[in-house]
């Protein structure tokens, strides 16, 4: 189970829990999107077996770029500073 904390467009802090099946669907959607670098990264390794690596990448981005990076997804603004697992 992953706990994801994010901010919506009104900058209201929200959180959601994603189970393994929902995570698989989310990864499938990201892989299917050929308009982003995320898709290319995810296609290079099996994300289902590399969850730790995905979390390490998120942690690296968070530590390197602080709050300068905002990720938009599904109508929400995700703040990498608030990613927890």
Task: Dig out the tokens for 48 from the structure.
Answer: 């289902």
| R_g (Cα) of the chain, nearest Å | 13
pLDDT tens-digit series, residues 17-49: 767 676 677 767 766 766 566 666 666 656 666
Burial class (CB in 10 A: 0-12, 13-18, 19+), 7: middle
Task: Dig out the tokens for 67 from the structure.
Answer: 């709050």
Rounded to the nearest 5°, which phi and psi values hold at 84?
-130, 155
Q: What is the mean pLDDT of residues 48-61?
A: 66
Q: Where are the beta strands (DSSP E) in the chain?
A: 2-7, 13-18, 71-73, 76-78
pLDDT at 54: 66
């Amino acid at each position: 189970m992953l706990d994801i904390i994010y901010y919506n467009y009104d900058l209201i802090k929200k959180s959601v829990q994603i189970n393994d099946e929902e995570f698989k669907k989310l990864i499938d959607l990201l892989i299917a999107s050929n308009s982003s670098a995320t898709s290319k990264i995810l296609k290079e390794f099996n994300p289902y077996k590399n969850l730790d690596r995905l979390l390490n990448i998120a942690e690296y981005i968070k530590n390197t770029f602080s709050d300068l990076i905002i990720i938009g997804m599904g109508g929400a603004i995700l703040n990498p500073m608030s990613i927890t697992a």
